[in-house]
């Protein structure tokens, strides 16, 4: 179950990383040609992407608020963060169809198959590590 959650979290973060950078990358062999963004290729509306970006920003703020609570243990923080991310994922997933999500993931995989891999947090580690508290 944790593996599935991590995969969704990585996809969720990856989607927004692509969106925030414009999600346009030069086509192979030609620096002057640009491919369409994956969200556009998948047929996802710009307004849906903007709403998903808003969800991401809200999620980040909520997580930072949890991380700044000194009275919570790491386990309590981890659980609250998990709940926040799960709720955000459900909201974001409700905005696009399963077919659009599948096309988006396939496009992202194709664009990033040879690129750097995103690492997860080690089990039992600080759930707020790297958040710039």
CA–CA gap between residue 25 and residue 41 (Å, rounded): 13
Highest mean pLDDT among 14-23, 36-45, 59-68, 108-117: 59-68
Measure Cα distances from 12 to 33, 68, 124 in Å: 27, 23, 22
pTM reported for the whole predicted model:
0.61
Q: pLDDT of 77-98, one tens digit each?
A: 999 999 999 999 999 889 899 9
Predicted confidence (pLDDT) at residue 101 exceeds the cutoff of 60: yes
Contact by Cβ (8 Å): 15, 52: yes
Q: pLDDT of 39-50, one tens digit each?
A: 898 999 999 999
Contact by Cβ (8 Å): 82, 5: yes
């Amino acid at each position: 179950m944790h593996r599935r959650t991590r995969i969704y979290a990585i996809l969720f973060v990856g989607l927004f990383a692509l969106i925030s950078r414009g999600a346009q990358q030069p086509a192979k062999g030609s620096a002057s040609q640009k491919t369409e963004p994956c969200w556009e290729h998948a047929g996802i509306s710009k307004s849906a992407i903007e709403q998903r970006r808003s969800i991401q920003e809200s999620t980040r703020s909520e997580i930072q608020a949890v991380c700044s609570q000194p009275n919570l243990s790491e386990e309590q923080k981890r659980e609250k963060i998990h709940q926040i991310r799960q709720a955000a994922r459900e909201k974001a997933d409700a905005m696009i169809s399963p077919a659009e999500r599948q096309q988006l993931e396939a496009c992202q995989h194709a664009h990033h198959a040879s690129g750097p891999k995103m690492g997860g947090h080690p089990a039992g580690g600080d759930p707020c590590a790297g958040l710039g508290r």
